[in-house]
Amino acid sequence: MQSLAKKVITSVLLLSLMLLVACGADKEQGDTVNKNASQTINIMETSAIPNANPILADNSVSFRAINQIFEGLYRLDKEGKPELALAANEPTVTNDGKTFTFKIKKEANWSDGSPVTAADFEYAWKKVVDSKTAAAYGPQMEEIVKNATPILKGEMDPEKLGVKAIDEKTLEVELENPVPIFKELLTTGTFFPQKEAWVEKQGDRYGTSSETLLSNGPFTLQNWDGTKLKWDYVKNPKYWDAKNVKVDKIHVTVVKDTNAALNLYNTNKLDRIELDGDFVKQFKTDKNFHTSLTGRSVYMKMNQGKDGVKTDLANENIRRGLAEAVDKAGMVDTLLANGSKSLDGVVPGQIMFNPKDGKDFREINGSLLAYNPEEASTYFKKGLTEIGKKNLTLTLTAGDTSLQKKQSEFIQNQLENNLPGLTIKLKNVPNQVSFKADVTQDFELLLGGWDGDYQDPLTYLNLFLTNSPGNHTGFSNPAYDKLVLGAKGKLSNDLNARFDALLQAEQILLKENAVLIPLYQSGRAYLQNPDLKDYVTYPIGAENYKWMSK
């Protein structure tokens, strides 16, 4: 009996030991699985994506998405400098700097495995400048790519554009003049390729959902139906540089309220959030709190009218009164508190510098429309007399995030208090609705702005050319057009003359015509999970998620 008991005890001990070993093995295997588990990063956006078609995109949310799922001949590196992307090497430049011949990487593919070809670039660029397309960014090529200007006006066939596929992987580009910012332009969505067969098959549906997209960038856009407030960027295994894309999935959630974003961050459901106002003051000593100054210029547009029909805002004195009636410093210091700087021009600071002495463009051009409530009231009264009215009611259209609501209320208070006889009605709508109101010029006052696409004043001033798809104000001025188009074309070889032309153009836009109500250069205050690495942002240009990891 004793011997049998010993055998039973021994058997139990052996079984227990085996279970412990097995559990240890499971734990070790589990640790290995966890260590190598697919990695997901959670970030926020402030709006649904209006569309993801590089040819038709006209807003920062769309371009932010496009920058993750598409790629051109160059992309910005971590420091914001152009680096080779789909281009296999630097181009051969001939014809006195006006002809560029690019070789496209052999390993560059679309997400369906088909090769990215020179014909994909030729097709996309010709579609961008086709007057029937009415691409908001068609003017990016104006006075730059050969024949783009008459094509955009509908005076020449798009087939005459200076871009040609020599063979499957060789692309030839002809310019009107040597362009100092050409490489920077090639990093933007307007110059990305598109696969003709795919785009034409999708028709008007192209770029409106995940199913209608074909990608060639680091990620593909998944779980997006065109209206969803959540979507995913999923690593693209067909991307030529997939080995350097470390994250498997980036999950995006639209969050319009800062308090809601903070709750998600504190419960580890977001890895990075942006803060404003009192939230900045609350967390500015937090070790995970950071700030930076961006190149985003925030302003209000004033609709002077379209199709020959003028509005009350066609009156210059009314516009000037409105433009000088908002306390921008007060908005920046109390409402935003995120490192933003008040701005009395449309071109922000630290963007372009005088080639002669290195002086900042903004510093040289100075204050063009400063806060001056007394002067503003005088202009406004004069304008009312000129249009034959004693009172004026205007509607301000703005987004519906918590910050945009606070901003529009602040502006309403400023305008009504400083301009007797003025009533401001607020219309806070989802950002994609605000974007549409801008594009269709269906507004009176509109709170918006511009992030810029490349580090040059042209990216801001180009928007207000006569009949530019990015204008949407009713402003048209031949002297302004001549200066801006000259800076894009004939003045490209004379950097000093080009710089002076851009300075003069901004003065015409604001000092002489008060086309916009400049508000501030946007800062960025944010909390970020310390484990999140290489979330790359630039002062100018869409964010870059290619190297992100956690």
Structure tokens at 262: 């903070």
> Could you give the C-alpha distances from 542 to 27, 59, 111, 383, 538, in angstroms and in order?
43, 11, 22, 40, 7
Alpha carbons 26 and 22: distance in angstroms, whole number? 6
Confidence check: pLDDT of 258 > 90? yes
pLDDT higher than 80, residue 10: no
For residue 225 the two structure tokens come to 């139906």
With residue 197 as reference, give the H or E element that holds it: helix 196-202
Nearest CA-CA partner of 227 in 470, 442, 441, 431: 431
pLDDT of residue 8: 38
Confidence of residue 58 (pLDDT cuts 50, 70, 90): confident
pLDDT band at 16 (very low <50, low <70, confident <90, very high): very low
Mean model confidence pLDDT for the chain? 91
List, for residues 419-473, the tens digit of each pLDDT value: 999 999 999 999 889 989 998 999 999 999 998 888 899 999 999 999 887 789 9
Answer for the pair 54, 216: CB distance below 8 angstroms, yes or no: no
Distance CA 211, CA 202 (A): 9
Residue pLDDT, tens place only, 24-34: 434 333 333 34
Which one of 3.40.640.10, 3.40.50.1220, 3.90.76.10, 3.40.190.10 gives the CATH number of domain 44-251?
3.90.76.10
Mean pLDDT on 122-144 = 93
User: What are the residues facing 474 on neighbouring strands?
Assistant: none
CATH of 295-523, one of 3.40.1520.20, 3.40.190.10, 1.10.10.10, 3.10.105.10: 3.10.105.10
Q: How far is C-alpha 479 from the chain's CA centre?
A: 28
Q: What is the pLDDT of residues 277-312, one digit of tens each?
A: 889 989 999 999 999 999 999 999 999 999 889 999
Burial 12-44 (b: 16+ CB within 10 A, else e): eeeeeeeeeeeeeeeeeeeeeeeeeeeeebbbb
Residue 329 CB-half CA count within 13 A: 3
Phi, psi of 209 (to 5 degrees): -165, 165
Q: What is the pLDDT of residue 38?
A: 67
CA distance 550 to 532: 5
CA within 13 Å, CB half, 388: 1
Distance (Å, whole) CA 393 – CA 34 = 61
- Whether the per-residue pLDDT at 15 is higher than 90: the answer is no
With CA atoms as reference, report the closest residue to 220 among 237, 203, 208, 199. 237
Residue 154 predicted with pLDDT over 60: yes
pTM exceeds cut of 0.95:
no
Q: Range with the lowest mean pLDDT among 166-175, 337-346, 461-470, 492-501?
A: 461-470
Look at the alpha carbons of 173, 176, 180, 182 in this order and tell me if their dihedral is positive or negative: negative
Strands 392-398 and 445-450: parallel
User: Does residue 20 surpass a pLDDT of 50?
Assistant: no
Q: At what angle do helices 60-69 and 431-439 cross, to 10 degrees?
A: 100
Assign 370 to helix, strand or coil: coil
Strands (DSSP E) found in 343-501: 392-398, 422-428, 445-450
> How far is Cα 525 from Cα 127, in angstroms, rounded to an integer?
39
Which residues make up the CATH 3.90.76.10 domain(s) of the chain? 44-251
d(CA 131, CA 160): 13
* Secondary structure percentages of the chain, helix, strand, coil, to 5: 40, 20, 40
Place of tokens 């579609």: 127
What whole-number percentage of the chain has pLDDT above 70?
93
Q: How much is the pLDDT for 29?
A: 37
- Could you count the other beta carbons within 10 Å of the beta carbon of residue 174? 15
Place of tokens 């100092």: 180
Per-residue pLDDT at 328: 97
Q: Give me the percent of the chain exceeding a pLDDT of 90.
A: 83
| Rounded Cα–Cα distance for residues 124 and 164 (Å) | 11
Sign of torsion, CA 379 381 383 386? negative
* CA 343, 347, 351, 356 torsion-angle sign: negative
Region at 79 (left for phi over 0; alpha for psi -120 to 50; beta for the rest):
alpha
pLDDT in tens, 182-228: 999 999 999 999 999 999 999 999 999 999 999 999 999 999 998 88
Q: 507 near 206, Cβ under 8 Å? A: no
